[in-house]
Chain A
Amino acid sequence: MNEMKKINLIVNDKTYQLEVDIRESLLDVLRNRLHFTGVKEGCSVGECGACTVLIDGVPTSSCIYLAVFADGKKIRTIEGLEKDGKLSKVQQNFIDEGAIQCGFCTPGIVMTTTALVESGNKFTDEEIKREISGHFCRCTGYQKIFDAVKKSLDDK
């Protein structure tokens, strides 16, 4: 029998009390237990960024973050961005700029972009590229993603 631990997770402003297996990643728990399937699993080894969620506001690859580490932390996933049926500005910008094709990388990049916007900082084009470099997109060729991120940062 494997060891279980009780943790409190606050996901998109809702508190969940869970018993998690200590072997589980935060990604496992978000997808399989809580069904936040907007969190994608690409590589499972921190390389692709598809599983990116915000933990206390910080973009983190949830595939290489243990669920037990998340005890007491505030987690935000793509599911939490829309308010009253209305997409967030960042989400809308990704649509308007045509930055989504298959959409697999999108939730992760949108979460990273949301953190950049909320940081209130200004970013040069080079810095924008650096800040989204932890996301692989196999479809768009990145230019439209860059445009959507830039638009989101200018939009504030």
Chain B
Amino acid sequence: MFSIKKIYQPITLAEALEIYTSNPQLKIIAGGTDVLISLHHGKLDDVELLSIKNLTELTGINYLTDGTIEIGTMTTFTEIFRNEIINKYIPILAEASVSMGGPQIRNNATIGGNICNGAVSADSAPTLFVLNADLRIVNNEGVRIVPITEFYAGPGKVKLQSGEILTHIIIKKADYKGMYGKYIKFSNRKAMDIAMLSVATLGKVKNNKFTDLRIALGVSAPTPIRCTKAESFAFNKTIKEELIKQISEKTLLNANPRHSWRGSKVYREHLIQVLTERALKEIITMSGGKWHE
């Protein structure tokens, strides 16, 4: 049995916020695929839970008139990877979603839980980083919007205060229109395994030059990161095999992978370069560019 003292199961966001404000010690549970594992292993103990599972306001994906895509945080990875809007406009997020866990996990794991859990290996993170996703966070007093790139504080830590609930992920049209993306998850097993390393790239190519390029890495630093140095280096340079090599090398200027039983630091550095190279070649091909003479 899980070490749970109490559980609240509100059915509206307003009700949830009220309960949370008067009980700041509560631990939010969404799909529970991280929380219940922590309870099982005793990393959490004697908790009082606030279940947001019944908040239908937080599920679903909306395409707004200005092309903004809003994803409710309670949307599961299965729902995301089968969703038409996502597959049409941001297929890279479908690709990332289906790479996580296995079917039963994806059926219950939410994208909000994936972000708020703060894992460096979170499969949604690199993709949301390259999409410049914004997070809508609410509490009893109001709303704040935070770019996901500023949300992570360290391994397993995100910048959320007690009383706050993440409600939506917002992706703006300018961040996906005309862009091609590729997510590569590298893990020991093809399913039911977390990433040893992950790379997301998103770019726009014009006259065989990158007019926009974004690269994000998972498990390469204490938080998911953007490779800003490699990105600005790539800007407006003519695409060649040599350039792809240089961009991939420059990703290491932002990365600082650690050594763990899953993979050594040196191996991870090698993977960062190799996988970035592969992902870049994919998006160049998709955007009709070429790297060989």
A and B co-occur in one complex: yes
List, in ascending order, chain B residues with CB within 8 A of A52's CB: 104
Given A133-B190, A134-B191, A134-B192, the answer on whether A66 and B2 have CB atoms closer than 8 Å is yes
Q: In B6-34, which residues have CB < 8 Å from any A CB?
A: 6-7, 9, 29, 32-33
> Does any Cβ of B come within 8 Å of A138's Cβ?
no
Q: Is B104 within 8 A of A3, CB to CB? A: no
List, in ascending order, chain B residues with CB within 8 A of A106's CB: none
Closest to A71 in B: B9
In the complex, A44→B29 CA distance in Å?
Answer: 18
> Does any Cβ of B come within 8 Å of A49's Cβ?
yes
Give B67-83 as 1s and 0s: 1 = Cβ < 8 Å from A's Cβ atoms.
Answer: 00000000000100000
List, in ascending order, chain B residues with CB within 8 A of A25's CB: 1-2, 36
In the complex, A135→B102 CA distance in Å?
Answer: 8
> What are 14 contact pairs spanning A and B, CB under 8 A?
A23-B2, A24-B1, A46-B101, A52-B104, A59-B107, A61-B105, A61-B108, A64-B40, A66-B4, A66-B7, A66-B36, A66-B51, A68-B51, A132-B103
CB contact between A45 and one of B6, B29, B37, B103 (< 8 Å): that residue: B37
List, in ascending order, chain A residues with CB within 8 A of B6's CB: 3, 22
Q: Is A134 within 8 A of B37, CB to CB? A: no
> Does any Cβ of A come within 8 Å of B98's Cβ?
yes
In the complex, A3→B36 CA distance in Å?
Answer: 18
**Shortest CB–CB separation between residue B153 and chain A, in angstroms?**
26
In the complex, A5→B7 CA distance in Å?
Answer: 10
> Does any Cβ of B come within 8 Å of A21's Cβ?
yes
For chain A, the count of residues having a C-beta within 8 Å of the partner chain is 30
Q: Is B1 within 8 A of A28, CB to CB? A: yes
List, in ascending order, chain A residues with CB within 8 A of B88's CB: none
Give B89-110 as 1s and 0s: 1 = Cβ < 8 Å from A's Cβ atoms.
Answer: 0000000001001111101100
Q: Is B4 within 8 A of A134, CB to CB? A: no
Closest to B105 in A: A46
Q: Is A22 within 8 A of B103, CB to CB? A: no
List, in ascending order, chain A residues with CB within 8 A of B41's CB: 45
Closest to B107 in A: A58
The winner among B36, B40, B101, B103 for most chain A CB atoms within 10 A is B103
Give A17-58 as 1s and 0s: 1 = Cβ < 8 Å from B's Cβ atoms.
Answer: 000011111001000000000000000111101001000001
Q: In A75-116, which residues have CB < 8 Å from any B CB?
A: 112
Q: Is A47 within 8 A of B192, CB to CB? A: yes
Beyond A3-B7, A64-B36, 8 additional pairs, beta carbon < 8 A: A23-B1, A59-B103, A59-B107, A61-B108, A64-B40, A112-B104, A132-B103, A134-B191
Q: Is A64 within 8 A of B1, CB to CB? A: no
> Does any Cβ of A come within 8 Å of B62's Cβ?
no
Given A22-B4, A25-B2, A65-B108, the answer on whether A134 and B32 have CB atoms closer than 8 Å is no
Q: Is B104 within 8 A of A46, CB to CB? A: yes
> Does any Cβ of A come within 8 Å of B43's Cβ?
no
